[in-house]
């Protein structure tokens, strides 16, 4: 997927902004004269990363609904607009044992799924007031092909993709495109606990820059409700969702789903 660069002077907010994908994305956007605000858990390292890049920093716990709204409001008040929100914050389980740690499971879902929901709903009004823009969600291949080693992560990312697809029609009516990026395994801290396995197997992993390229393209040329798979040696391609068997009328004809209820892939 190739795309034009964002308009210089646009304003973008990136959650999880000081980690691997967020940092790489910020560098690309800043190089195109986009004003970038990185939102992440507060800390000296996070603030230093933003300062080194030349980006603004906002402290944000994405699981805090009110904090999401407050950050979006501050960004809009400071810059007069918000053109794109990258909902990129994410974590995975620290363990892959047979027994599921329910507290850890719920925390992963809280960050990776509800952090997306809160962020999208908080960003929506500001982006609408700017005349439309984009919401880009960092999902994962695990949301399309669940990982047996991390049920919480798979549930959260699958839910995030479903949220993107279900929100797409109403946001499109406002001029806002929402889409998801679904990277395969990438060279970020999230694979640290299993990194040796990739090295030993000679399995290719994505660079953060490859994923950031897809994230930029999703802003400027993404399709509403699309989920873009990013894989080494493949590039960025839209995932083609399979339709479920259609209902049939009493006479045996295929029933037509009402327009308002159709997912983006059926329109």
Name the active-site residue from 86, 118, 153, 228: 153
Q: What is the 3-state secondary structure (H, E, C) of the chain?
A: CCCCCCCCCCEEEEECCCCHHHHHHHHHHHHCCCEEEEEECCCHHHHHHHHHHCCEEEECCCCCHHHHHHHHHHHHHHHCCCCEEEECCCCCCCCCCCCCCHHHHHHHHHHHHHHHHHHHHHHHHHHHHCCCCEEEEECCHHHCCCCCCCHHHHHHHHHHHHHHHHHHHHHHCCCCEEEEEEECCECCHHHHHHHHHHHHHCCCCECHHHHHHHHHHHHHHCCCCCEEEEECCCEEEECCCCCCCCCECCCCCECCCCHHHCCHHHC
Residue 153 annotated in active site: yes
Residue positions annotated with a catalytic role: 153
């Amino acid at each position: 997927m190739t795309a034009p660069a964002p308009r210089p002077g646009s304003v973008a907010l990136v959650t999880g902004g000081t980690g691997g994908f967020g940092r790489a994305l910020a560098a690309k956007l800043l190089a195109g004269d986009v004003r970038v605000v990185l939102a992440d858990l507060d800390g000296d390292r996070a603030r230093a990363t933003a300062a080194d890049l030349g980006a603004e920093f906002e402290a944000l716990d994405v699981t805090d609904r009110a904090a999401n709204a407050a950050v979006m409001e501050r960004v809009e008040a400071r810059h007069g607009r918000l053109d794109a929100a990258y909902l990129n914050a994410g974590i995975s389980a620290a363990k892959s044992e047979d027994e599921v740690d329910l507290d850890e499971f719920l925390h992963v879902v809280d960050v990776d799924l509800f952090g997306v929901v809160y962020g999208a709903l908080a960003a929506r009004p500001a982006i609408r007031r700017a005349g439309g823009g984009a919401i880009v969600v960092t999902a994962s291949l695990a949301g399309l092909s669940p990982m047996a080693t991390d049920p919480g992560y798979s549930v959260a990312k699958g839910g995030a993709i479903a949220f993107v697809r279900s929100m797409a029609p109403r946001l499109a009516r406002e001029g806002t495109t929402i889409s998801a990026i679904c990277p395969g395994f990438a060279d970020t801290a999230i694979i640290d606990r299993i990194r040796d396995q990739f090295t030993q197997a000679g399995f290719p992993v994505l660079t953060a820059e490859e994923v950031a390229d897809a994230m930029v393209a999703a802003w400027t040329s993404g399709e509403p409700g699309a989920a873009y798979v990013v894989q080494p040696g493949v590039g960025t391609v839209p995932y083609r969702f399979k339709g479920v068997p259609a209902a049939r009328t009493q006479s045996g004809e295929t029933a037509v789903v009402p327009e308002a209820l159709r997912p983006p892939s059926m329109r």
